[in-house]
Amino acid sequence: MYSSFVLITVFIAGVEMCGDTSANCDDWVANGFCTSASYSAAQKQQYCGTSCGLCSSSGTTIAATVSTSSVCSDSVSSCATWNTNGFCNSTTYTTAVKTQYCAATCGLCGSVSSASDSSSTTSSSSSSTDNDASDSTTAADSTATSSSSATETTADSTATTSISSTCLDSSSACASWATNGYCTNSAYTDAQRKAYCAKTCNLC
C-alpha cells in the first residue's frame, strides 16, 4: 500500500517554493502521508505541500510565513484531516508544532497561558519553600540558643554545687574526736558532724 510513497529527491535552487510536485499526492494523503512520522515536514512540503496544507497563498512554505499570534486558530486548512489521522495525539510532533499549525483543532489554545501559570505556581512554591526553610533555620537557631543557655546554666550550677559540697574538716581536732567516738556518738547530730568533721566522719 505504501509502495507509492517512494520519493525522488528534487533540488530546487533559490527561494524555497511550496506545492505538490508529485502526481500521487491525493493517494498519499489518503494513506496518511501528511501525518506520517516516517517523513519530515520538509519532505511533506516539498512533494505535497499544497495537499498537506503546508503552503501559504504566495506559494512559499507556510513555516516561513506563520507568525506567533495571541489569537487561537488553525493556521492550515487540513487540521481536521490531520486530526483524524492522529496528528493531535501523536508523540512524533511537539506541542509547539501542534500549536503552530492546529491549535484550535488540537485544543491547545490554553497551552501558553497554562505554561505561564505553571511557571508562576512553581515560583510561588519555590518562594514558600524558601520561607519554610527560613522558619526552620530560625527555629533551629532558637533551639540551639536555648540548648546552649541551658547547658551553660547547668554547668554553672554544677560548678557551684561542686564548690559548695567540697568535703573538708573545719576543725583540726577531728582525728582526735573521731578516736573518742565523735563520728558515731548519738549525742551529736549529723549536721554538727558535717559542719566540723565531714571528711573524717565520711559524711561528704
Average pLDDT over residues 149-155: 48
Whether 74 and 37 share a structural domain:
no
Mean pLDDT, residues 137-165 taken together: 49
Q: Assess whether pLDDT exceeds 70 at residue 76.
A: yes
pTM of this prediction? 0.27
Contacts of residue 66, Cβ cutoff 8 Å, sequence gap at least 6 = 75, 100, 101
Tell me, what's the pLDDT at 177? 92
Structural domain includes residue 83: yes
Quick check: is 150 in a domain? no
Closest-CA residue to 45 (of 74, 6, 19): 19
Residue 51 counted as domain residue: yes
Q: Which of 54-68, 71-85, 156-170 has the highest mean pLDDT?
A: 71-85
pLDDT on residue 57 = 61
Do residues 173 and 202 share a domain?
yes
What pLDDT is attached to residue 134? 53
- Of 115, 95, 117, the C-alpha closest to 106 is 95
Q: Of 78, 75, 77, 123, give the one whose Cα is nearest residue 96.
A: 75
Residues 107 and 71 in one domain: yes
Same domain assignment for residues 3 and 61: yes
What range does the domain containing 107 cover? Answer: 67-115
Distance CA 63, CA 139 (A): 57
Domain count, the chain: 3
| Helices within the chain (DSSP H only) | 25-30, 41-48, 79-84, 95-102, 111-164, 174-179, 190-197
Q: Is residue 94 part of a domain?
A: yes
Mean pLDDT of the chain: 71
Mean pLDDT on 137-153: 50
Choose one of 99, 115, 131: the last residue of a domain. 115
Are 83 and 49 within one domain?
A: no
Residues 50 and 10 in one domain: yes
* Tens-digit pLDDT profile for residues 153-185: 544 554 444 444 568 888 889 999 999 999 999
Q: What is the DSSP string of 67-93?
A: ---SS--BSSTTHHHHHHTTTTT-SSS
199, 186: one domain: yes
pLDDT at 160: 46
d(CA 199, CA 204) in angstroms, rounded, equals 6
